[in-house]
Amino acid sequence: MARRLNVAVCQTGPIARAESRADVVARLIALLETAAAGGAELAVFPEMALTTFFPRWDLTDPDEIRAFYEREMPGPDTAPLFAAARRLKVGFALGYCESVVEDGRERRFNTMVLAGRDGAVIGRYRKMHVPGSEAPEEGVTVHLERRYFEPGNLGFPVFSFEGVRIGMAICNDRRWPETYRMLCLNGAEMVLIGYNTPLLLTETPRLAHLRMFHNHLPMQAGAYQNTVWIAAAAKAGVEEGQALIGGSCIIAPSGEIVALANSLGDEVIVHRADLAMNEDCAKAGFDFARYRRPDEYALIAQAAGPRRPATAG
């Protein structure tokens, strides 16, 4: 029997700092209902989908900062979303700010939770590539993710969702080839991504016209080179004075964008993903068992050190 998965991308428009968790969750439930009406079995929401993207601010008040994190998932505010998943029989991946006690101390991660069609938690992923800095830097757009989050410590896990192998990645992760390759080597057939990407970065004016190209390029390459499906949800529009790119999309293992959002607001796109395509595309060019040379790569990487040296001459 053909293996297919109806996947929805639930893009959100801006989320204001003043918006309550209850209001945001109500918006997410409305998106999940639209996804269900479109036949979706699984939906993905953006990175940090419950709050505004606060790492754009240089915050110092611990209480103010603490308010952005969830200590339970589901918790009292988010339980209605899990109940909606159960009612609608649509699983979801949700990006949020996680606060957890581990190793005897509070730790904070930029996290995505995966829930099944029964509303139960299947697993979670913690963002591995945490960009930005801990303090504002001269001439650089303020992006203080490294003050507010530790890099993830769960690796690149892959979970079974209704028999389909699902991996997750969060925003800056999508620019790194290692993300897709690790997930692919762990057996992922589909990667769910959430992101918050500013339209303008002060430090790179010469690349400003390429923001959307550089959004889709690594995801299309990642899908193609690792023969996986990708479903990627943006937070979009002008949020607290900062423009975030949209461009939410679903990408086939061929590298083609098969569905694309056409707004900067709350929007749902759905696609029926044919999971036989992964294998077909692998046969066409990426037979790992036959052509990859992992032992060689490891030796070369060891010899090269952390950063590729400039070519001499």
Known active-site residue 89: no
Q: How many residues bind ligand CDV (CB under 6 A)?
A: 10
Residue 296, H or E segment: helix 294-304
Q: Is 51 in the site for ligand CDV (CB under 6 A)?
A: no
Q: Is 196 in the site for ligand CDV (CB under 6 A)?
A: yes
Contact of 178 with 158, CB cutoff 8 Å: no
Catalytic residue among 10, 98, 127, 189: 127
Residue from 75, 131, 155, 285 touching ligand CDV (CB under 6 A): that is: 131
* Closer residue to ligand CDV in complex, CB, 11/278: 11
Contact of 131 with 124, CB cutoff 8 Å: no
Peptide bond into 74 cis (omega under 30): yes
Catalytic residue among 10, 70, 98, 171: 171
Contact of 159 with 165, CB cutoff 8 Å: yes
Shortest Å, Cβ 141 to ligand CDV: 8
Q: Is 165 in the site for ligand CDV (CB under 6 A)?
A: no
Shortest Å, Cβ 274 to ligand CDV: 29
Known active-site residue 47: yes
Largest CA distance in the chain: 65
| 192/6 Cα distance (integer angstroms) | 13
Known active-site residue 19: no
| 147/189 Cα distance (integer angstroms) | 33
Q: Is 148 helix (H, G, I), strand (E, B) or coil?
A: helix
Measured CA to CA in angstroms, residue 12 lies from 51, 64, 125, 286 at distances of 11, 23, 20, 35
* Closer residue to ligand CDV in complex, CB, 151/187: 151
Q: Is 43 helix (H, G, I), strand (E, B) or coil?
A: strand
Residue from 132, 194, 246, 247 touching ligand CDV (CB under 6 A): that is: 132
* Closer residue to ligand CDV in complex, CB, 196/220: 196
Residue from 78, 179, 197, 278 touching ligand CDV (CB under 6 A): that is: 197
Contact residues: ligand CDV, CB under 6 A? 47, 131-132, 143, 171-172, 175, 195-197
- The catalytic residue positions are 47, 127, 171
